Chain A
Amino acid sequence: MNGYQLDWWAVLSGQPREWLFSGIWMTFRLTVFSSLLATVIAVILLAMRLTTSRLLQGIAASYITVFRNTPLAVQFLFWYFGVIPLLPELWRDWLNETHIYAGFTFPSMELIAGIWGLGLFSAAFIAEELRAGVRAVSAGQFEAARSQGLSAWQTLRYVILPQALANSWQPLIGQYLNLMKNSTLAMSIAVAELCYQVNQIESYNLHAIEAFAVGSLIYLLLGLFLSSSLDAFGRVIFKHKRSHSHG
């Protein structure tokens, strides 16, 4: 190893350890809030694509085309350097202040831009997975619900979406995992998430191997935690998928 001595403690103690914890917390917030935002937008996009309005269908399809076919890093830079300076000064002041909601503080415009950028990007992918799940639901399900007098939204909410979710649950888990991993790109707009902090440790004490190895391990654990909890959640909520035995 060219005489290089691995020193894990240099990464796991003192200032570097604080940075790691702060990075994990930031990655966690970025992932959770982006996932929520992405899910809401994805459901809206799905609803738009299922309407009979050509205009709404077109808007949703264009959204998905644009956000899926441009790099996330460019999108982050676009929002952060392109759009935020165009906002009215009052809004920017508000964004720069510290806000506390439900125990979460939002001290930085960077985090908000990160959640926004990552949420909008991931929504396009999640919407596509949901649409694939909807396509696998038989036309008879739409007809049954509509023939009962349920509105288009009630049909989607109570009949189609639960089945579409069950159909596309595994690929959806993959999309939420991608979202978590893509959150590393938010470092390009100075969101101090885990990857940003690991990089900072490397600049601070030059323990590159240890820093990036520890960073990778933490991402691996976060990923395993995320996918196994979503998997377990799916097994609880999609009860009917477990009861096909009698056929």
Chain B
Amino acid sequence: MIEFKQVNKHFGSLHVLQDINLTVKEGEVTVICGPSGSGKSTLIRTINQLESISAGDIWVDGKSIFDPSRSLNALRKEIGFVFQQFNLYPHLSVLENITLAPRKLNNLSAAAAETKALELLEQVGLSDKRHQYPAQLSGGQQQRVAIARALAMEPRVLLFDEPTSALDPEMIGEVLSVMKKLAHSGITMMVVTHEMGFAREVADQVVFIDHGQIIEQAVPHTFFHHPQHARAQQFLQQLLNPLHVQEVLL
């Protein structure tokens, strides 16, 4: 479904992505983790070209995303994106946030778009918030609306860029459980996250990135119990047992 072929990205003297080769199969869930600044967000942002690349190629659905016959906006309609900071449209109500793109891009009637939006709100458990504005919602609720907004275009791929990192701890669960329900429902998901519980339980493969390189790529069981690379071991230790990092490293 998604294939990175020898992808490199330079940002000035910084080598943000180095020789990335990665295949994501249709309908699977890929979790991408790694220290901050490792290039994991950049990686998923190259798929819908929110970030450019310096060399290599990215294929989506059997065709390069840079193929001249392919329109960028058509590609983006197929790929939903969920941001760390939600990025809901503050001047639009919850319902309008969800219906804007389907109405303007698929020429859906207002009534049809609303029916669809209400189904999605039901799915993320926020039917009663349809007439609220984003500023009236909690972070967790905003992120769930953002997921509904991304789903409204019926994308084949959903990209999540640290969807729970900006949330208070008590709201992380509600967002993760919505994501868990979506997983393996036919939609291909790539999730940049530090939520290792989600990775262990939901992911089909886990990709560990450091300094712009894929260091480790494995099924969750292997990744968590037998990480091959020292940096991956250290990262897991920091994440899973932050109080006792020093002891292990010493």
Contact = CB atoms under 8 A, between A and B. Distances in A.
A163 interface: yes
B76 A140 contact: no
A198 B75 CA distance: 63
A240 to B, nearest CB: 5
Contact of A150 (B50, B74, B101, B149): B101
A221 to B, nearest CB: 33
A159 interface: yes
Interface string A136-178: 0010110111111111001000110011001000000000000
Nearest to B90: A240
Given A148-B153, A150-B73, A163 B90 contact: yes
Interface residues of B, number: 31
Given A140-B87, A141-B89, A238-B91, A150 B105 contact: yes
A143 B77 CA distance: 13
B173 to A, nearest CB: 21
A148 B85 contact: no
A204 B100 CA distance: 60
B83 interface: yes
A240 B135 contact: yes
B244 interface: no
B80 to A, nearest CB: 8
Interface of A: 138, 140-141, 143-151, 154, 158-159, 162-163, 166, 238-240, 243-247
Interface of B: 48, 50, 73-77, 79-81, 83, 85, 87-92, 100-101, 104-105, 132-137, 149-150, 153
8 contacts: A140-B87, A143-B50, A143-B87, A146-B50, A147-B48, A148-B150, A154-B105, A246-B137
